[in-house]
Structure formats: structure tokens, C-alpha cells
Structure 1
Amino acid sequence: MSEPFTITPADVEAAARRIEGHVLRTPLVPAPRLSDLTGATVLVKHENMQATASFKERGAVNKLLTLDEDERERGVIAMSAGNHAQAVAYHARRFGIPATIVMPETTPLVKVENTRSHGARVVLHGETLYESAQKARELAAAEELVFVHPYDDPAVMAGQGTIAHEMLEDDPDLEVLIVPLGGGGLMAGNAVAAKALKPSIELIGVEAALYPSFFNAINADDLPVGGPTLAEGIAVKTVGVQTLPIVSSLVSDIVLVGEDMIERAVYAYASLQHSLAEGAGAAGLAAMLKEPGRYAGRKVGLLLCGGNIDTRLLAAIMVRELEREDRIVAFRLTTADRPGLLGKVASLLGEQGANILEVSHGRLFLDVPAKGVTLDVTVETRGSAHSAAIEAALRESGFAPHRVLPRGLAGRDLAEPGR
């Protein structure tokens, strides 16, 4: 690599030596069920096993260990949507360095509280990382704090690059690395490390479709940027000045993934790999689910780069995926209102092997006869074929069923006919 990048393979190797003993060398784990799902040979680097459940510890530790004594005494400040915040706060306390973290007001509560629990002063400011960064720089200047950028810093980038260094040491036969892209620190560090160890390896970056910042910068495009995303860890509007040249030179493609694919990937990690992945952590798998044919037959390394996901959000995702797979379905039955109706429906569903989750009567709808009733029943099934068999049995029994969206379980206020 002849490009004048701000970091070199030697910087990554030095970072690996520096952070040894301070962060976990996470395992690179074969994922046979994800391999079956995608048609590739998938190996997962479990950075969600770090003490703060994300890869951010590597860059934070490398940066903190490069500070001189005066900088350590003055303290550090960082801006982050969560994982960088926790990493800086956790290791700053370990090293006896005062830490201040500026976080967007929209940061998930679990990440805010985790950061505070590590002893940092937390300042909530702005809707986006850009606004938080402005506040952090103001405080850094006013209080003479060392600014620890989450991605656009050579020491941070080199620390993140130790991931690919470890992956290719553990399995030199990897053909593709798929890396989530926010500000680019993770990809930049790992691109430099990976290309030095194996020039033929293909590097693919993944952005949330709502935040195509690198895609726009590299392709001279103008796709809109912004909006609520499950992958808030890579919801970055401004790419790194130092990371952009590396990404544009060494990364073969940038893939945009929609929220539905990110949800599917989070669910797949939980149900098939038995691992927690936040939205950004699941982005690489989301790219594979979007285009499985692209990776079929190849050995692919995925970075499960973070596992800090709100448990309520995870529960909602799990239920939504069960709905998409027709393993949770709701039927609206319209029939005459007579004694024993509910018992008959329950018996029929029991005979069909369905598990009833929710029942709702409706007697006052104007589109129902005065002596009629609607019965909304949400059931758990074994999948699409089983759901179809249950629907057929209800129809044969005269209940005139049609599908509706599960209201309570789906978090929706209104049921809608059809699917």
C-alpha cells in the first residue's frame, strides 16, 4: 500500500501489543446455521464478548495508553451514541483518568446508564452525533480535556484494526470481511490490517440505508441521510476525514441495508447463533441476507461488533420476526353471537395444534350484524403451512376467517385486513 494513509500496518501491530491484556482476544467462531441460511461458510468474530459488549474498547484502550502524564491528569472527553462512550468510560476508570462523555439525547437508556455506571460524567446534548461533537469540543476547549474521537483518530483506528489482525491469524483462508460502516474507524483500521496480511481479501462495508454517508461520499451521490434506525451505532451523517481515503481506496463495495434486513439479522443472531447483536452489530449479516448469492460458496468473516441492545427492543424484534415467518398469526372471525362460541373456537384451535396468545371480542362494530360478533384470535403456529391449515379449518367450520395484523403483540393500534 503506497497511499499516505494516517495509519500503517505497523501501527496496528503496535496497537495489538499495547492493548494485550486490557481487552479480550475474542473468538472467531464457525457459524454453521448462519452458513446454511446464507449459503456461505460464515465465521463470526464475537466482539460482543468484550467487557462493555463492543469492539470500541480496542481503540479506546490504544488511545488512552498513548496519553502522557499531563493529559491523563487533565482527563478525556468523548462524544458517542453509546459503545464508544462505555469503552472510554470503563477503561478511563481502570487507568485512573477522569472521563466526560457527551451523548445525543436520543441515545438508548441502557447505553446512557451503562456509561454512568462506569464512573463517567455524562452530558446529554443534541439529536445527533454531530451536535454532540460540537458540544464535546466546546467542553474540551473550556476544560482543557483531551478529545477522544470515536473514529477519526489514528490511535483509535489502529486499535480497531487489531480485529482483522486476529481474524486472519486465526483463519488465513478468509476470503471476505464484511464490516459495519459508521464514521469509518472500524473499517479503516481493519482494511489496513487485512490488506497487509492478505492483499487478495475482499472488504465490504455496510451502512444503514437511512445513513448512506460513505456511499454518498465515494459515489458522489446525494441520497438522503437521517431518520430513526435500529442501527444507531452506525447512524453517522459525516464520514471521517482520515477514514475516507482508506475506505475509498481499499474497500471494494458499500452495501446499504434496510431496517427489515437489520431486524432479520438481529433475530438470526439470537435464534441461530444464540448471540445478542445490536442493530449495528448485525449489519454485516444483514448484507448477506440481502444478497446471499453474492457470498455463496465463499468463506466470510463477520464482525459482530456490538451486543448492546435494549431488551424491550429485542423482544419486539423477536415477535415481529415470528409474525413475518407466520409463526404468530391473527384471525378475525365473524359469526353469530351464541353461548359457547369461544369454547368451540378454542377447541378447534387446540385440535389444530395452535397456541392461543390473545383473544378480543367485538360486538359494537357497525359492519357486524346486531346479533353477530367478531372474534380476533392471535395464535402461535409452526409456520406458514400450519397457519394455512388452521385458516382452512376455521373456514370449514363456518367462521369466515381473514388475517389481521396482531394488535397488541405487533405494537399497532389498528388491525388491518390482509398481509
Structure 2
Amino acid sequence: MPSAVYELAPATSEPNGANGHRVNGHGADAGARPIENTNGGLEDPFVTFSNGDPHGVIEINNLHNPVPMSQKYRTPRTSMALTDYSVNPSTPDDQKRQHIREIVPEDFLLPNGHPDYLRLIASATSRIYEACKLTPLSHAVNLSNRLECNVLLKREDQQPVFSFKLRGAYNKMAHLDPKKSWRGVICSSAGNHAQGVAFSARKLRIPATIVMPEATPAIKHLNVARLGGHVVLHGADFDAAKEECSRREKIDGLINIPPFDDPYVIAGQGTIGNELFGQTNMAKVDAIFCCAGGGGLIAGIGLYIKRMAPHVKIIAVEAYDANALVQSLKAGKRIVLPSVGLFADGAAVKTVGEETFRICKEVVDEVVEVTTDEICAAIKDMYDDTRSGLEPAGALSIAGLKKYVEKNPPRDPSRTMIAVTSGANMDFDRFRFVAERAKIGGGKEALLHVRIPERPQAFAELVDTIMGNPVTEFSYRYATDRIANVFFGLSLLAPPQERKEELKRLMDNIQAGGMEVTDVSQDELAKSHIRYLVGGVSGVKNERLYMFNFPERPRALEKFLEVLRPRFNISLFNYRNSGGDMGKCLTGIICPDEDVEELEKFLQDIGYPYEDCTESKLFKSFLRLEDPEQQGP
């Protein structure tokens, strides 16, 4: 294996590239500027800047912020290029079709000058298995039973680099002219494309340079270095890394390996379509679901499938906050998004490729958009069926399949739906977020905010009302003598098609008890912050704090509350099911000093281990007012 090489690239004298201009205006001159028409009549977008400000695009093709900020399911966006696919796109080549003629032999071109992709894919099958696996097509038993159709998973997450990207990268590099490729290849990426290029370069004995931003997490550049890539760390984001990549390409005579917008890359991904014909009866397949991203995967598969089995629908899946293909298809031309959400970073592109968009217009039947929570639910579905963990972009296909089937139930349970699970490269730390959001995304959990009158037994009445559904979290803090705010999560037990009605009945019951209730399951503020911040300081007198542990069994929390509530006035309650074997509950109880002995005897009789935290400095600092008189009105 070639030894790993690291390099910290110096800043260039032309930070904005050779022409000093970026598509988003971070260059020498700003203002409206078109992307040249290069796609055989396909009109490309204008980019308009705010009041000549070269640092902020506000309109793309007269679409002001294509994804409304009011959508509560949006994840944070960024104008910085924090992933290799969210870089500001280069100005397209004026001679795109001529460029294709230069890299694709004449025998593989159609009379109209476009590549003959069926032949290119057939040619790719003779080379890619030198590096790639013929991945299995697995039956998803649980998903099939739940959706009442035959769900199959094309397991591209089982490739040597855990991503389909290896197919396109290897096919591209295997067809390079040895007279040119001996100098080496280069790309700007820290994700699956980088690993695909590095792995392919090692197989083909071609030097590979991978340019990444200086702040790239160690796990990403270590993976590339492990495969023998020459890692160059440069710049604050991927825009800077991309410029450095272009500079080195020209100076050192290297060949840039594109991530998706190239005929050989598209053909490499298209070999998945060829494999499917040998793995299942395509006559019974209704649809194939793929993540959209830059378009390479769905273009390659779509071209092959539509030629060989035109009845099969090709359905692209995108996140709501990274929907470049949706916006482009609506506009009839390539749209450049001002920014993209980063959760499904492997498919978060600002614009789809030129060639891939031309193909997608022909082969894509529909695009399904999904939320972050729905992606998390899909990751859990994959784990439940295969005990494998996908990255968010890799689970887009499953999320889209579920959403599509729920809206279009198949009449015949034997009909087949295929999801291409495209990647499994995700940092372990992100699984915590996925686990928290999966139940909400799958419609199995609801988060509710309830306002109850601060009077004796009001808390007990709320508990009685919700007792029929398992509680996943519960937060309450005494604040005033008038109104109490409670935040809690509940598991929904009805079949998927009946959960909305189940939640409505539950909320109606709460309101019938004289309490106000709001469903905050889709409120990003509630899910990301408020659920962790419920509480605060209180000046309630005679408050004592206890931390309880109890076995995390079904309805354990409800049984605990049934024992505790009749005798004591609760001023604080915090519980969250974290998936462990023991449930942890923090409880504030109003108890005069003279009754403490009786209280603690009662707690001992309950039989649950507990700790008295009343004298804790943290309790006094964050949850107590030193002087009750300081409490506001």
C-alpha cells in the first residue's frame, strides 16, 4: 500500500481562482451574472445579488429562497461550503458536448452527440468488478410486512468503501489514457467520493491527491490516507479546497475526477441497474428509489432501467432543505441553491450536474422530499431489518420509499419496490441524534406542550389522562401560582394509518380536562432545545430534590407516578427514556422540614433506589432562587 502523505497547502495568491469570480459573488465583481447555456438548448440560471453585495445571494432564477424559512422541519443551513457537494459551482464549460466527444470514443456516441450509455454501462461491467462488489439485493422483512408490499434493498453500503461512489470513480479512472494518468489524479472531497478515488488509485497504481479543508475531521482524512491517498489540507471550506484542487490540476498536470457529472462516472453507477436484472424479476418491480444528490447515481440507474424495463418508475429522493433537483425540474433548468442543509451531507448539493440533469429530465418519474426526522426513521428501519447503520444520504431512498408507498398503497402485496441503500459512512456520535428523532420521523412518538392550572391534583389529572400511552419523556417545573407548563413525549400505539386519529383523541381528552395542549412534534425549537431547557429557577418554599432509579420496563414510569402523586405536591419532574436498562427520574417535592423524616420513610418503602440532592450546589445554582422574594411577578 502506498504510504500516506499529508500536506498543509499554502494560501494561493489568487484566493478566488484564476478569474476572481465565484458563482455566489465572492469574487472581484458582483451583480447579476448568467451561467452560460451549455446543455444543448438548456437555459441555465442567473444569479442575483442583494444590492450588489458580493457576499449574499438572495435570488436564484427569480426564486427568492426556494425553500421557505417558515418550514419548521428545516435543519440549519449554511452559506459556507462545509461539504464537498455544497461548494459554489464552477461556471459551466462552453464546450460541454465537445468535451464529451473528447473523452468518449466515437463508437460510444449516438448520432446526436450524446453518449450511448447502454454501451458505456456494458463496457463498465468488464472493469469495475476488479474493485467493486456485486452487492446483494436483500429482502426487508419488517418493512415489507408494515408497508404490505415486497421491499428489496440494493446494498451499496456493502462496497469496500461502504458507498456506491467506488463504482463511478473506478470506472472513470480505469478508462483514463495511461499516457496521461501516470502523473496522477486529483479531487476535492472529504466524503465517499474521496475514498472511492483513493481506493481506485491504489488498485490501478495511479497517484491520487485529495484536497480537503483544514478543519476536516480527523476520521475523514485518516480514512483517505489509510487507502494511500496524498491528503492536502487547504482553506477554511470546500470552496477554497476546490480552488486549490483546480490550481494543482493545472500546475501539476493532474486529472480531476468529478464526483458525478461525467459519462464514465454515470456509467459506473449504472452498473447497479444491470445487476438488478440478474437479481430479481423486473416485471414485478413497480419503482426504484435513489438519493438524488448531484444526479450521478439516479441518472446511471435510470438510463439502464428505462431502456430495459420502461414500466419501472425511477423515483429520486431529496431532503427538503437540499432539493436542487426538485427546484431544477420545476424551473426546467438547473437551479443553484443559495445554501443547503447539512444533515444528509452526502447528497447535499447546491446544483445538480449538467449532464446528469439532462438525463434526469428524461428518466426520473417523480421526486419525493423527506424531512430530517423521516431520514432518521429510515436509518432505524434499516437497522431493524439488517442490523446495519446507514448514513443519512444512504437512507434517503428508504425514507422516500416509505413516504411514496403510504401515499400510493400497492394493490398487489407481491409488487416490488427497490431502495438503493447508497452509503454507510457516518460518525458514531451522530447516532444519538438519529435515535432521538427516529420515533418522531416514523410517526411513533408525539411531543406535546400542555398548560395546566397550578392547583392541587391538576398534575395528577394530566397523568391520568395520558396514562394509556407509554411516556418517553416528561418535564415539569413549578413557576407561578397560576399556570404550569408541562412538556412530554408519548409513544403512539395505533397502526401507522391510524396514528393521526389516535393523537387527536388524546389531545381532545386533555382539552376536555380544562387543559391547553399543543402538538410540537414538528417544531424544530422544541425538538432541538426546549425539551432540554424546561425548568429553570424557582422560589417555591420547602422544596427538596430527589433522583430516582427504577428498572426501565413497560409502564414503569406510570407505576412510579401512581405511587408518588397522591401524597405529595410535586414542584419539578424530569424523565427521559434513554434506552438504558434503568430509568432516571429527577423529582422536586414540596415538604416542610418537620415532615422530611416521614417523606423519606415513604420513599424507602417504595423500594426504588434514590439520592437526596437537596444540598447539591448544582440544584441551588440552576434550579433554586436563594431568596424567594427574588421571584418575579
TM range (shorter): 0.7 to 0.9
The correspondence for 2:158, drawn from 44, 49, 62, is 49
Q: Residue 154 and residue 264 in structure 1: after superposition, are their counterparts in 2 closer, same or farther (change >3 A)?
A: same
Matching of residues 15-164 of structure 1 within 5 Å: 15-104=124-213, 109-125=218-234, 131-164=240-273
TM-score (norm 2): 0.55
- For 1:314, the equivalent position in structure 2 comes to 431
Q: Residue 276 and residue 174 in structure 1: after superposition, are their counterparts in 2 closer, same or farther (change >3 A)?
A: same
Do residues 370 (structure 1) and 481 (structure 2) align? no
For 2:319 and 2:418, locate their aligned partners in 1 and report how far apart those are by CA, in whole Å. 19
For 1:223 and 1:158, locate their aligned partners in 2 and report how far apart those are by CA, in whole Å. 25
What are structure 1's unaligned runs of at least 5 residues?
Answer: 336-363
- For 2:418, the equivalent position in structure 1 comes to 301
Can you list the C-alpha shifts for 1:13-69, whole angstroms capped at 9, x where unaligned? 111122133210000011111223433311001111111111111111111111122
Q: Residue 225 and residue 288 in structure 1: after superposition, are their counterparts in 2 closer, same or farther (change >3 A)?
A: farther
Q: Residue 72 and residue 2 in structure 1: after superposition, are their counterparts in 2 closer, same or farther (change >3 A)?
A: closer
The correspondence for 1:212, drawn from 299, 323, 327, is 323
More helix by share: 1
TM-score (norm 1): 0.80
The correspondence for 1:329, drawn from 459, 469, 472, is 472
Q: Residue 323 and residue 288 in structure 1: after superposition, are their counterparts in 2 closer, same or farther (change >3 A)?
A: closer
> What is the DSSP-based 3-state SS (H/G/I as helix, E as strand, rest coil) of the residue aligned with 2:377?
helix
Matching of residues 249-260 of structure 1 within 5 Å: 249-260=362-373
The correspondence for 2:360, drawn from 237, 247, 252, is 247
Q: Residue 103 and residue 256 in structure 1: after superposition, are their counterparts in 2 closer, same or farther (change >3 A)?
A: farther
For 1:223 and 1:293, locate their aligned partners in 2 and report how far apart those are by CA, in whole Å. 31
Q: Residue 35 and residue 403 in structure 1: after superposition, are their counterparts in 2 closer, same or farther (change >3 A)?
A: farther
For 1:378 and 1:317, locate their aligned partners in 2 and report how far apart those are by CA, in whole Å. 25
For 2:397 and 2:156, locate their aligned partners in 1 and report how far apart those are by CA, in whole Å. 13
Report sequence identity in percent. 31
Is the deviation greater in 312-321 or in 239-248?
A: 312-321
Q: Residue 246 and residue 332 in structure 1: after superposition, are their counterparts in 2 closer, same or farther (change >3 A)?
A: closer
Can you list the C-alpha shifts for 1:229-274, whole angstroms capped at 9, x where unaligned? 2210001112101100100111011122221111111122123321
For 1:180 and 1:165, locate their aligned partners in 2 and report how far apart those are by CA, in whole Å. 18
The amino acid of 1:75's aligned partner reads G
The correspondence for 2:121, drawn from 12, 23, 40, is 12
Residues 332 and 403, structure 1, Cα contact 8 Å, conserved in 2: yes
Per-residue deviation, 1:159: 0.3
The correspondence for 1:180, drawn from 291, 294, 314, is 291
> What is the DSSP-based 3-state SS (H/G/I as helix, E as strand, rest coil) of the residue aligned with 1:281?
helix
> What is the DSSP-based 3-state SS (H/G/I as helix, E as strand, rest coil) of the residue aligned with 1:203?
strand
> Which of these two proteins has the greater Rg computed from alpha carbons?
2
Residues 377 and 437, structure 2, Cα contact 8 Å, conserved in 1: no
For 2:113 and 2:547, locate their aligned partners in 1 and report how far apart those are by CA, in whole Å. 65
The amino acid of 1:239's aligned partner reads V
Residues 212 and 223, structure 1, Cα contact 8 Å, conserved in 2: no
Aligned residues: 382
The amino acid of 1:62's aligned partner reads N
> What is the DSSP-based 3-state SS (H/G/I as helix, E as strand, rest coil) of the residue aligned with 1:308?
coil
Q: Identify which of structures 1 and 2 has the higher relative contact order when contacts are C-alpha pairs closer than 8 Å and 6+ apart.
A: 1
Residues 194 and 224, structure 2, Cα contact 8 Å, conserved in 1: yes
Q: Residue 113 and residue 240 in structure 1: after superposition, are their counterparts in 2 closer, same or farther (change >3 A)?
A: same
Per-residue deviation, 1:169: 2.2
Give the root-mean-square deviation of aligned CA atoms: 3.3
> What is the DSSP-based 3-state SS (H/G/I as helix, E as strand, rest coil) of the residue aligned with 1:276?
coil
Residues 380 and 438, structure 2, Cα contact 8 Å, conserved in 1: yes
Q: Residue 271 and residue 146 in structure 1: after superposition, are their counterparts in 2 closer, same or farther (change >3 A)?
A: same
Is the deviation greater in 231-240 or in 34-43?
A: 34-43
Per-residue deviation, 1:98: 0.4
What are structure 2's unaligned runs of at least 5 residues?
Answer: 1-109, 446-469, 479-534, 580-621, 624-633
Residues 142 and 384, structure 2, Cα contact 8 Å, conserved in 1: no
Per-residue deviation, 1:197: 1.6
For 2:211 and 2:273, locate their aligned partners in 1 and report how far apart those are by CA, in whole Å. 29
Per-residue deviation, 1:109: 4.1
